[in-house]
Amino acid sequence: MGTENVYLKSLREQYEGLKKSIEGLQIRAAEAKRDLTNEELRSVIEQGEKAKGLFTQIEDLSEIELRNAKVASMAAKVMAAINGDNTTGGDGGDGSGDGDGADDGTRSVKLGGAKTQDRDPGFYTRGGQHSFIGDQFRAARMGETAAGERLLKHSRTLIDLAKTDVHLRDVLGAGATTFGAGLVPPVWLAEQFAPVLHRKLRVASVLRQVPWAGPFAWSIPVAGTVAKTSTVAEGVNTTETDPAYGILTVTPKPIMGYSEVSRQMLEGSNPAVDAIIWGDLTGDFYDNAELECIVALNGQANVNTVTVSAGVLTTTDIALQRAGLLDGIAAISDAPAGDADYFVGRTARWTTYLENLEVVTSPTVAASTGFIINSQEHLFSISPPMQFQFEQPAGPALVRVGIWGYEAVTFGRRPKAVTKVTYSGS
């Protein structure tokens, strides 16, 4: 007797939880004879979107489970006909007593009297036969059922393992904890290219990191006019003014990364080719995320500004540069917008004499500008890379492999926590 798919069961439980939560909000509003509040309506819409995603997964996985059950049933009938009886007893194994007949895509290796199991399923190991990216192409563009089933077993196994393995969850990212929310690459591939993120996200990585929660717009209250009161004579009421707030809306932007390869290379791919393509994809993806961060920083209005000399030939130039940068630091403190902690620029040569700032160099910053920031007053969030896309912009011989995702960044929450430095004469 087969066992129920534990992951599919958990999806159904999540769906039922969302369904009850949505119904509860509507029932409370109906009992109170009122409309849904803005927060309640937003909650219903967000939970409805999550339920819609769960429904798609449940539908797809249920179809696979039904097909697997039919195949197993037909196989049992065939064996019964061959053996000349109507029973299907036995454990279906090889008599070794160490398997349960289930093919979950994992690979175990015997070492003496012990058995060790790879964290990856056996399909996409470093020296294995199958290509992770090649199977993505075959399943998406060529309709190869075997490739699609390998990918499903691979993702399902790693997701189950990541629930209890903290290190694995950190390596694979959000795609391993929310099925369908992101790619779940083989462990060796994710570990090999994890440093790419840190090399590419230079400025973005030092900002306050907000965990990714979906491509929904952020609504952030920002204080404008502060409350004021005055001291008056005894027995006279004080006069007060209320604080004023504005709403800052931050909409996540879609970003992508792509690499162009020959069709021959993709169809004949192996783990070595995977390493090349995955490195190019993730590098381009995070380059675009960093570029969006610099564009937002450079375009932010109402920041502090200072102008300093670009020369480095005389003692006077150096003194003026140091004085100008110190003015930029003081402008943030006086705003008040906290303490500056990073200088952002294309080169660190202008901060030679400043020991109280960390330096972040980024080639996407213009040579004539630099920025002093209080990094913890600015927000950044990025999604894991989403599913592969395959296009043929120049005909079938060339395939463009793409991944996509979202990023959100804002410096508008506290513009005075930024000082833009302009280098005259550069």
Assess contact for 11 and 61: CB atoms under 8 A: yes
SS3 208: strand
Helices within 84-186 (DSSP H only): 132-141, 145-162, 166-172
What phi and psi, each to the nearest 5 degrees, are found at residue 116? -115, 150
Taking the C-alpha atoms of 54, 55, 56 and 61 in order, what is their torsion angle to the nearest 10 degrees? Answer: 90
Assess contact for 280 and 259: CB atoms under 8 A: yes
On the CB side of 317, how many CA atoms lie within 13 Å of its CA?
13
CA distances (Å), origin 290, targets 17, 175, 208, 217, 407: 37, 21, 14, 20, 10
Task: Output the pLDDT for position 220.
Answer: 85
CA distances (Å), origin 256, targets 168, 251, 366, 387: 25, 16, 23, 11
Q: Which of 57, 101, 105, 49 is nearest to 79 (CA)?
A: 101
Which of 180-213 are b and which e, b meaning 16 or more Cβ less than 10 Å from the residue's Cβ?
Answer: bbbbbbbbbbbebbeebbeebbbbbbbbeeeebe
Task: Output the pLDDT for position 31.
Answer: 87
Assess contact for 332 and 379: CB atoms under 8 A: no
User: CA–CA separation, 371 vs 167, rounded Å?
Assistant: 35
What phi and psi, each to the nearest 5 degrees, are found at residue 87? -105, 160
Task: Output the pLDDT for position 212.
Answer: 82
Q: Which of 97, 377, 15 is nearest to 222 (CA)?
A: 377
Per-residue pLDDT of the chain (426 residues), as tens digits, is 456 777 888 888 888 888 888 888 888 888 888 888 888 888 888 888 888 888 888 888 888 888 888 887 877 777 776 665 444 444 444 434 444 444 444 444 343 443 434 445 567 766 667 777 788 777 777 778 888 788 777 777 766 766 666 555 555 554 444 434 455 666 656 655 555 555 678 899 899 998 888 888 888 888 766 666 666 667 767 777 777 778 889 999 999 888 888 877 777 666 777 777 877 888 888 889 999 999 999 999 999 998 887 666 566 666 777 788 888 899 999 988 889 988 888 765 555 555 557 778 777 787 788 899 999 999 999 887 877 778 877 777 788 888 888 999 999 989 999 999 888 765
Task: Output the pLDDT for position 292.
Answer: 92
Task: Output the pLDDT for position 128.
Answer: 67
